[in-house]
Each structure stands twice: as structure tokens, then as C-alpha cells.
A = this chain, B = another copy of it.
């Protein structure tokens, strides 16, 4: 993606941004404050900036006259960066008193690691579990009238070096016709074995040469959303992607309520049908999204990852033991099988690979993340966290792995927060305030008028309020501060993030003390989960060499602010990697490399699961973590230093 630099003056700060990013996003990343209380909708007109160098355009609004526009004035929220720019922030916009420039704290972002197909290829690992092999058999004659299958086996042994192949029964009825239609030239689809002793298995045969048409789907069955990606097994190129709400949400928001529903008569089958329908919708969209490029018959592979409950519900396996001590899943490793048998709208020869899982609360989605992130091959002591309603934590390296799960509650997904919402259009995801006026700068998803606050916005907002001493380490507001934005409403103290007339919802969007309390409990659960798991394996927070963040939540997260509230163990931000949907990435990689399908069996075997409910020290760690950032500030030396300076 094309990059441009934006220099902000009078600050001495320069930032590199992607083409098309808004100036307000650039400013926020740079840590430069511009009063921008409407979140990018162009409503408040406060975010006026002067572009002094470089070509820029913005929508003409009644907030700027033609003369102002000609002079270089722009609304930062409506200006997309398409050139290297020098941008002057007018001091009235910074709302800063006394001429002294405010402190600049650039947003610390995690490295985004996506799967690198070239790395796979160079490592000799690009051997998909499903392979198409073209064969040209010599037609039978009087001298050799052995059976079609015998002929095929002999030839494949010659071509692949592998004798005594297995074959799916359902392939055999196709063989005589396919061979004779194609003058004994055909393409055989082989499924490579997951264990060394086993043989490859023939799962399909087609007339002619189809080796170029070998496609796969990676599927992440989330409790909330089902994501799919259709890609080409030749070169890993993405053909289409699609996500859809898991229709099971009608039967319960979280896994526990789904399990309760599954225990009702017919409930399990109903939930299975419902998620299969959702998946089939996703498959349909992936195919239609491919144009006419991909024929469904050419999809050889579907790799499926989900948490343990989603996995069992999808497979029709009674999940009741998942929610009852001692929390036992039905199986950890599932055999591969025809996707068709699972009710998916895919041919019988499409093989479904179900990601193995560790325990009732560390599921296939997490194992996929561990595989997809490369953690299991890392030399570094790594902390892997997948953040959602439940947070799953894995610690270890290529030598050993341990894991646990904790219930973070729905705060990060907007649950239990007065104006909480998912990271959809209009969600406040970035936030800063002017330290003198307490006026905010907002960034919203899609630069839309604000509708609410999403998880990353919540973390940033609480961190910013804490850094600016509007709240204390217990999360209580400093009511000595005088600003109309801080008020008591119906007995609850709250900060007005956006005034009603600048929102999309016609009401003041506020952040309340109970919201902050919920966030502290959520982040405390995760932090103490990490701490407890490390302690159980004889380590401490300071031993961590690398953090990998996975989950839908987290892509925009400001690491500095995450450390500020004690959401993550403090570490050099350069050592934090954000991988996004680890479940989907792991699923995709397993479809691309059979080595990973083999390795995952080892990984599952070596990973030790800890149930926090069985770990006595967890509660102590949790209570100690119910502060900003923590009762023990020494765990956050960088923050401690910063707060001391401030």
C-alpha cells in the first residue's frame, strides 16, 4: 500500500500513513491533539487545519468558506491523505492555553503479522494436504486387463513413489466412466496422511487435467460470527472473504447459553442445523464472490476452526460436559471426513479438517492461532492472548506450551458498557483529550458520526482519562475537575464523550463509572490470567519476550494505553504482534501445508491446560489487578516513569 508522510507543525512530529487515511487519523496516530468532537462526521467543524505543503482536497462544507479553502484550510476529519503533506495545527484548534505545546505521545501499534506464503514456500512447507495428480494411464488390452483401480494404483506408485494407497469407496463407481471418457487421462485428488505410517488416500477422480483447479476454504466458526476465506492452493491467493453473524446467536449470546439450549430436547440438532445454514450461506457468498472463477467441485479442502463449544455444536456432539466440572470436551483430535457428511454444501470429495482442541475452554480457534502465528516454532518465550468474551492465553515456545482461559466478560465487545458497541461504523475507537480544556478528539470507525464506544475506544478513553488524572487508579472520577463534560447523571458520575447534537443517536454519549469498573474487571481477569498461568509454570511477567494478540478485537488497540490500564503485561511495543483472526489464519495455513496438520498433533499433545477455577492463586492475582494499572505499579516500570514525569 502506498505510503505518505504527514508532518504536523508547530509540533516537530512526522508520521507515515497509508494513502486514503484521514488527517484526523494521522494526527491521532501521531499523538497530536486536534479538537474533533464529532468523530469525523464533519459536523462540529472544529478540526480545521492548514495544509501548507502538498496537494490535498476535502469535501466543501459550510464550515469553510471558498476563500478559506483556497488558502489551504481543511477539515482534518474530511481530508484524505494522497500526497506528502505539511499540516499546521492552529493553536485555537488545540485549545491549548499559554502557547506551550502539548505533549505528543504517538500511538503505539502492534506489528501486524499476516501469513507469508513465500516463507511457507521457501521453507519447503508448501505441500497442501489435498493434492491433485494428473495421470496418463496406458489403456487396458489383452496383455494387461487388470482392473481399472489396479492400473491406477500401479501408475500412482510409479508417479508418487507411494504404494498401497487407500481409496474412498465413493470414488470407485466413478473410475470406469472417468477413465474411458478421458482416454485414460485423469486427475486424481489425494489426501495426504496426517501420520507417517498411513498412506495417502484417493478421494476423487476427474476426466482430464485439473491440477490447476485446487481451491480451499478456511472457516472460523465464532460464537458471534462465522468467517470464511476462499483461496487458491496453487499460490495461497485470496479469492474471496466473507463473514456473517452465526445464526445461533438467536439461541444465546455466549457459549454457556448455547450449551443450555443444546441440552433441551432437539436443541443440539437445532443449533447444529442453524450453524450449518450460516456456514452454507458463507460458502455461497465465497463462491459467488469468486465470480465464475471457482467451481464448487474444485474445492478440495475446508479447514474449520472454532472454540470447543462451537466445534461440538457444529459436529452434533453433545456439549453438556463442557460447562460442568471437570469441564471435559468429547474429543481433542477429530478425524478428517467428507464435508458433505457434515451437511455442508460442498461435494462429497471435499475433505473437512477440524482443528484439534485442548480443553473445554481452549478450543480449535486458539490452537489454530498458535499454529498460524508460528508460536509453536518460536525460540522466544511468547505470550499469546486471544481476546473476546473469553480470553484464551497460551504461553510457551517451541519446547513447551501451557494454556488457560478466563472469562473477561463482554466489555471488550461493548457488553455491560452504557454506550458500548462492536467496532462497527460510528464506533469511537480513538480518543484523546486536551489536557487543559478536557475537550476530546475522537476517531470513529468509518469516519462516521459517533454511535457508541467499542473495545479499543474504551481502553484508550479510560487510559487517557487516567493519564490526565480525570480518574484515579480505582477508576473513580476526580470530581474536582471543572468541565461540563464531567457530571453526575441519575446518581452516576460520567464523562460526556460526545454531545447529543454531534452524535448519530441524538443522545449524549458518555462513559460512566460503572463502565470503567466493568472494564477494570475485564482487564483484571485477563492480566491475572496471564500472571497465574506464568506462575504455574514457574515464570513471571518479566520473563515474556513476545506477545501475540489475536481476536477480532485488538487491531486498532493503542498499546501504550493498553499498558496504561494494565490490560497487557508491559513490554517493549516492538515485541507485540497483532495477528487478527488467528483462527482463520491457522485454518488457512493448515490447508496449505500438510506439515502443519502433522505438527498440530504434536502441539496438542505437548500443551498443558490449566483450569483457573482449580488454581488457588488466581483470585489473589485477580484482586490485585483491579486497579489502574495494578496494585503493584512496579510491574509497569515504563508507565511508572511516565506518570512520575507527568
Contact = CB atoms under 8 A, between A and B. Distances in A.
Contacts of A341: 169
Nearest to A168: B335
A30 to B, nearest CB: 49
Contacts of A614: 142
Contacts of A180: 321
Contact of A317 (B172, B195, B320, B321): B172
B326 A140 contact: yes
A316 interface: yes
A150 interface: yes
A285 to B, nearest CB: 27
B335 A142 contact: no
B142 A176 contact: no
A142 B360 CA distance: 13
Q: Which of A142, A334, A360, A614 has the most chain B CB atoms inside 10 A of its CB?
A: A142
A328 interface: yes
Contacts of A150: 331-333
A169 B337 contact: yes
A215 B141 CA distance: 43
A148 B333 contact: no
Contacts of A535: none
B142 A330 contact: no
Contacts of A20: none
A316 B164 contact: no
**Majority SS of interface residues in chain A?**
loop
Nearest to A148: B330
Nearest to A197: B197
A147 B331 contact: yes
Contact of A142 (B149, B318, B333, B611): B611
B315 A173 contact: yes
Contacts of A329: 147-148
A198 B398 CA distance: 29
A334 B177 contact: no
Interface string A282-309: 0000000000000000000000000000
Contacts of A331: 147-150, 172, 175
Work out how many copies of this chain go into the complex. 2
A327 interface: yes
Given A140-B326, A198-B197, A198-B198, A333 B176 contact: no
A166 interface: yes
Contact of A328 (B140, B167, B198, B199): B140
Contacts of A198: 197-199
A145 B613 CA distance: 13
Interface string A604-619: 0000010100100000
Nearest to A326: B145
Contacts of A326: 140-142, 145
A334 B171 CA distance: 11
A164 B195 contact: yes
B149 A359 contact: no
Q: Most B CB atoms within 10 A — which of A195, A315, A335, A609?
A: A335
A135 to B, nearest CB: 16
A143 to B, nearest CB: 8
A478 interface: no
A173 B318 CA distance: 7
A176 B317 contact: yes
A644 interface: no
A608 to B, nearest CB: 11
Given A140-B328, A332-B150, A335-B167, A317 B145 contact: no
Contacts of A166: 335
A107 to B, nearest CB: 41
Nearest to A336: B169
A114 interface: no
A436 B337 CA distance: 77
A146 interface: yes
A325 interface: yes
24 contacts: A140-B328, A141-B326, A142-B325, A142-B326, A145-B328, A146-B328, A146-B359, A148-B329, A149-B332, A150-B331, A164-B195, A168-B335, A169-B335, A172-B315, A172-B331, A173-B315, A173-B316, A173-B318, A176-B317, A176-B318, A176-B320, A197-B197, A197-B198, A198-B199
Given A147-B332, A147-B359, 14 more contacts: A140-B328, A141-B326, A142-B614, A145-B327, A147-B328, A148-B331, A149-B330, A150-B331, A150-B333, A172-B334, A175-B317, A176-B317, A177-B318, A180-B321
Interface of A: 140-142, 145-150, 164, 166-169, 172-173, 175-177, 180, 195, 197-199, 315-318, 320-321, 325-335, 337, 341, 357, 359-360, 609, 611, 614
